[in-house]
């Protein structure tokens, strides 16, 4: 299945059904009076986060969604049926933006969350509603109100506890394959990872989700390489694992390049807890390892971990550091009471 994390969709809720103009016709009743029923309400358009999805690929093949029109009213005071709703099923972590792709409409972070995107039009009144003491036989009815239509953007940001960042060929995919059951593409050339990969890590009777994204290069925020759009998939993570390859001539430059791209992207990525590791340590000799580890320590201001996913060196230490960082951020978080949706005319 192809990975798609952004899609443009047109939606339209259903129009309301028209009210009916009708009169009672019964034997021996000379003035039966109006009995036109009301029209049914148009169908709504909902968005719902469901389990079992991790891509928006379905919206590449269908971009138009229209709810059903309400049924018209009928005689004998029969009200028309409501139009059927339409539900856009999306993965948890999907954000929905307006047509400008900047105005956030909703953020569905948990499975089962629903949001009303477009409300169906109300049905029109039948002629029974217009009967008065002076107008006993009204011959008018209201048409149904039109539904709402809008163009929206769906943008998926994967839900993960920890995220992998680094330059291309820093060993991110190799590390993910070594510690999880994920099977990302691994090759000795840049940008083998073209879309994010997720895996579940188990360490010391604990589990957390690890996300691997395509590598960053200098100027990614300006569109160099494949850009920095995939950084959105680590926005929700609690901790970042920054891998710097021991094969780099200057680990300091490599580290600062990635940190510069994270800062240019924004969205609080540079404020997240960071675990730094000198990866692919098995590819250099002991002297080079020591000198590059010291240079990386000076650049990041902490003690980096020596890591080799191929031999297993430092893997357990890195996973425990990530688990500790995830635990600390969870303790710092406090539950926030959800605000109810504002409605026009509602008292403040």
pLDDT tens over the chain, length 348 residues: 567 889 999 999 999 999 999 999 888 887 788 999 999 999 999 999 999 888 899 999 999 999 999 999 999 999 999 999 999 999 999 999 999 999 999 999 999 999 999 999 999 999 999 999 899 999 999 999 999 999 999 999 988 899 999 998 888 999 999 999 888 777 766 677 777 888 899 988 888 999 998 888 888 777 776 777 788 888 889 999 999 999 998 999 999 999 999 999 988 898 999 999 999 999 889 899 999 999 999 999 889 999 999 899 999 999 999 999 988 765 454 443 333 343 434 343
- Quick check: do 1-156 and 162-332 share a fold? no
Helix H, strand E, coil C: the string for the chain is CCCCCEEEEEEECCCCCCCCCCECCCCCCCCCCECCCCCCCCCCEEEEEECCCCCCCHHHHCCEEECCCCCCCECCCECCCCCCCEEEEEECCEEEECCCCCCEEEEECCCCCEEEEECCCCCCCCHHHHCCCCCCCCCCCCCCCCCCEEEEEEEECCCCCEEEEECCCCCHHHHHHHHCCCCCCCCCCCCCCCCCEEEEEEECCEEEEEEECCCCCCCHHHCCCCCCHHHHHHCCCCEEEEEEECCCCCHHHHHHHHHHHHHHHCCCHHHCCEEEEEECHHHCCHHHHHHHHHHHHHHHCCCCEECECCCCECHHHHHHHHHHHHHHHHHHCCCCCCCCCCCCCCCC
The second-level CATH assignment, the architecture, of 162-332 is 3-Layer(aba) Sandwich (3.40)
Question: For the domain 1-156, what is the CATH code?
Answer: 2.70.210.12
Q: Domain coordinates of the chain in residue numbers?
A: 1-156, 162-332
């Amino acid at each position: 299945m192809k990975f798609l994390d952004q899609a443009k969709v047109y939606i339209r809720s259903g129009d309301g059904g028209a009210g009916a103009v009708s009169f009672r016709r019964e034997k021996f009743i000379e003035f039966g009076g109006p009995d036109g029923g009301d029209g049914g309400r148009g169908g709504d358009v909902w968005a719902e986060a469901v389990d079992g999805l991790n891509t928006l690929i379905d919206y590449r093949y269908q971009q138009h969604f229209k709810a059903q029109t309400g049924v018209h009213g009928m005689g004998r005071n029969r009200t028309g049926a409501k139009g059927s709703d339409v539900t856009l099923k999306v993965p948890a972590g999907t954000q929905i933006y307006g047509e400008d792709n900047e105005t956030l409409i909703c953020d569905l972070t948990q499975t089962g969350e629903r949001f009303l995107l477009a409300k169906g039009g109300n049905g029109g009144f039948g002629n029974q509603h217009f009967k008065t003491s002076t107008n006993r036989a009204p011959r008018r009815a209201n048409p149904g109100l039109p539904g709402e239509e809008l163009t929206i953007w769906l943008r998926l940001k994967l839900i993960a506890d920890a995220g992998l960042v680094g330059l291309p060929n820093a060993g991110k995919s190799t590390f993910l394959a070594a510690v999880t059951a994920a099977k990302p593409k691994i090759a000795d050339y840049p940008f083998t990872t073209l879309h994010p990969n997720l895996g579940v890590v188990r360490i010391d009777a604990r589990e957390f989700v690890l996300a691997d994204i395509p590598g960053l290069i200098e100027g990614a925020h300006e569109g160099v390489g494949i850009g920095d759009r995939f950084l959105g998939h680590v926005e929700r993570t609690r901790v970042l694992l920054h891998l710097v390859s021991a094969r780099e001539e200057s680990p300091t430059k490599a580290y600062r390049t990635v940190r510069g791209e994270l800062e240019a992207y924004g969205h609080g990525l540079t404020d997240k807890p960071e675990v730094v590791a000198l990866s692919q340590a098995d590819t250099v000799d002991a002297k080079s390892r020591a000198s590059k580890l010291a240079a990386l320590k000076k650049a990041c201001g902490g003690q980096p971990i020596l890591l080799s996913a191929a031999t297993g060196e430092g893997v357990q230490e890195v996973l425990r550091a990530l688990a500790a960082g995830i635990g600390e951020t969870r303790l710092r978080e406090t539950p926030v009471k959800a605000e109810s949706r504002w409605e026009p005319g509602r008292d403040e």
